[in-house]
Every structure is written in C-alpha cells, then in structure tokens.
Structure 1
Amino acid sequence: MLRSFKPTWMVESIYQITPEQLRKEKIKAVLTDLDNTLIAWNNPEATEETIQWIQLMKENNIEVVILSNNTEKRVGKVASILELEFIPSALKPLQRGFKKALNTYPYSKDEWLMVGDQIITDIKGANHAGIKSVLVKPVMDSDAWNTRLNRFVELHIMNYLIKKDSEMKWRDGLYERRNNE
C-alpha cells in the first residue's frame, strides 16, 4: 500500500531537472506543483531562478503546466508572471486535475512528469494517474497550516520507504547521486 507513495526519482530541487534528462526519459511535458516546489508557499512572486528554469524548458519545447490544490487567484497570479498554463483546485491526490491535464494537452501518460514536494498529494496522485514523478525538497522549511499534518504523516511514510528501498536517495538530478554519497 505504501508503495503508492514512492516517487520515480527524488531530486533536491526542481531546478536540477534538465531538458537533457527529460529528453532521455522521453518526457515532453511537466506538471509541477506550485507552493514549495516552484516558489515559497507564502510568496506570490516567482524568483529569478524559477523564471530561468521555466525559460529553459520553453526553449527546449518542454511544456510546463502548474497543477496545484491552491485557488485560481493564487495560482493564476504566478502562472501569469511565468506565462504558464495552470490547473488550480486540482484536489490532488484525487485524479480530477491529472485527468484534466491528460485530456487537455496532446501528450500520452508516458510523456508527462509530475514534480512536487509532497508524497501524499503530488506523488500519490501521479502514481495513480500512471505518470512518472519527482519528489523535490520543499523550497522553504515552513508550511501553510494545512500542509503541516501531511508533513508529519509523510515523514513516517518516507522513513518506511527508504528503509525498504536502498535506491530511494536524494539526487542532484534524475541520475546524479549527491556529491556526499
């Protein structure tokens, strides 16, 4: 049962995912969580690093779509700055948002990648949808009140998964081990 929370990869940051890595996996589109994945949960603005990463994806013809449980107002503000499509109120891990993405864009499940900082919402939802996933570390150590309970539960799930699977390690990219490992 807990295997449904297992990400395909664990990468320190979304910014370490490169177009070359995505091409190697035949990924043409990235669904990305917003809060604590692309930007801090309590910041309505995109950072320069975020803008550069999005631009790199666009230059390499990789579609990026924000898939967030947050409101249309919150997600729309950031999506407008980044000039990205978005799906708000996705209700992850339920399939509503994932199905909308799969039905809206011309990519097969194998061509999508979900990137997020929560295994309970982002990773479980992606696994259920049959989409490869990347778990990233949260941009900030703090969370909104409604995420704190998830983090507590996630800690126990992650500890179990890491104990059962020696390949569950943080990497500097889809394939690179961290320098200290």
Structure 2
Amino acid sequence: MLAQFTPTWMIEATYNINPKELKQLGIKVVLTDLDNTLIAWNNPYGTEELRDWMTSLERENIQLVVVSNNSHRRVKKAVAALQLPFISRALKPFSGGIRRAMRQYQVSENEVVMVGDQLLTDIAAANFSKIRSILVRPIIESDAWNTRINRFFERFVMHAMLRKHPELKFRKDLINERNK
C-alpha cells in the first residue's frame, strides 16, 4: 500500500531541482502542483526565485506545466502573471490530469516528472500514472483549509513510508544525492 505514496526523489524545495540534472535524466516536461509547490497558496505572484528557476528550465528546453486540482478560474488567475500552461481539475490522486498533460505535450512516461508537496495527491497521481515524482517541502507551513485534512492523514503515511524506506530523505539535488 505504501508504494503508491512513495516518491522517486525527495528534494528540499522546488527551486532546488536542477534543470541540467533533469535534462540528464531525459526529462522534457516538468508537471508541477500549484499551491505550496510552485507558489505559496496565498501568493499568486510567485517570487524572483521562481522566475529564475523557470528561466533555467526554459534554457534547457524543459516545459513547465501546472497540474492542479483547483478550478480552471483559480488556476488561470494564479498562473496569469507567470504565463504558464496548466491543467485544472486534475482530480489527483487519479491519473487523468497527468495523462492529459502527457498527451498534450506528446511525452512518454520516462520523459516527464511530477513535482508536488503532497503524498496523497501529487505523488500518488504520479505513481498511478507510472511516472517519476519529486516530493518537495511545502513553500509555507500554512495551508488552505481543504489541504489541512490531507496533511493530517499524510503525517501517518509519511511516518510509515520513512520507517519502511529509511534511505528516503529530503536532499538538495537529484543526481549527486540520488535516493536509492
């Protein structure tokens, strides 16, 4: 049961994910959750660090796509300033939103990675889609009310997963400190 929630990698922060390393791993498209992964849930404008990371992805010809469970209206408003493509109402942990993005960008399972801050939605959706995943720490510690429920259950899953896989730790990069 824990396998469906186990990420490929655990990285301290989204912006620590090195696009050159992604390129070495054959990644052409990065799918990312929106709230507390790409931007703080209460700050739709992002940060300078986010813009720098987006520029470095662009330099490596890696497409960044937001895959969110939020409504079309909410995601469109949140990513407008960033001018990012998105899939809304992705229904994570189901694989439909990820599969839709893969078809749209014509990539195979080994050319895409899902980045998210939640085991029960983002990482489970990646595993159901048979793609690699990166669990990141949330950008801020507070969450929207609907995410707090997930976080409660996620603590138990995380504890059990780390007991079973003690080699999984939050790291600074993908390749040099690769999880086994």
TM-score, length basis structure 1:
0.94
Q: Determine helix, strand or coil for the equivalent of 1:115.
A: strand
Counterparts of 1:130-169 in structure 2, within 5 Å, are 130-169=130-169
**Counterpart of 2:30?**
30
Paired AA for residue 88 in structure 2? P
Counterpart AA for 1:113: V
Q: Which amino acid aligns with 1:103?
A: R
CA contact (8 A) 2:34 2:67 kept: yes
C-alpha contact (below 8 Å) 1:54/1:82 kept by paired residues: no
Distance in 1 of aligned mates of 2:172 and 2:152:
25
Pairing 1:16-95 to 2, within 5 Å after superposition: 16-95=16-95
TM-score, length-scaled by structure 2: 0.94
Residues 118, 154 of structure 1: 8 Å contact kept: yes
- Structure 1 residue 176 displacement after superposition: 4.6
Q: Which residue of 2 aligns with 1:13?
A: 13
Distance in 2 (CA, whole Å) between partners of 1:11 and 1:23 is 17
Q: Which residue of 2 aligns with 1:128?
A: 128
Count of equivalent residues:
177
Q: Over the residues paired in the alignment, what is the CA RMSD in angstroms?
A: 1.1
Residue 64 of structure 2 aligns to a residue in which SS?
Answer: strand
For residues 145 and 176 of structure 1, the distance between their equivalents in structure 2, rounded to whole angstroms, comes to 37
8 Å CA contact retained: 2:10, 2:136: yes
**Cα separation, 2, equivalents of 1:2 and 1:60:** 34
Give a deviation string over 1:88-145, Cα, whole Å, max 9, x none. Answer: 1111111221121121112111100000000000000000001100000000101111
Could you tell me which amino acid in structure 1 is paired with residue 132 of structure 2? K
Which one is further off, 71-80 or 129-138?
71-80
The letter of the residue matching 1:44 is P
- What stretches of structure 2 of length at least 5 have no aligned partner? none
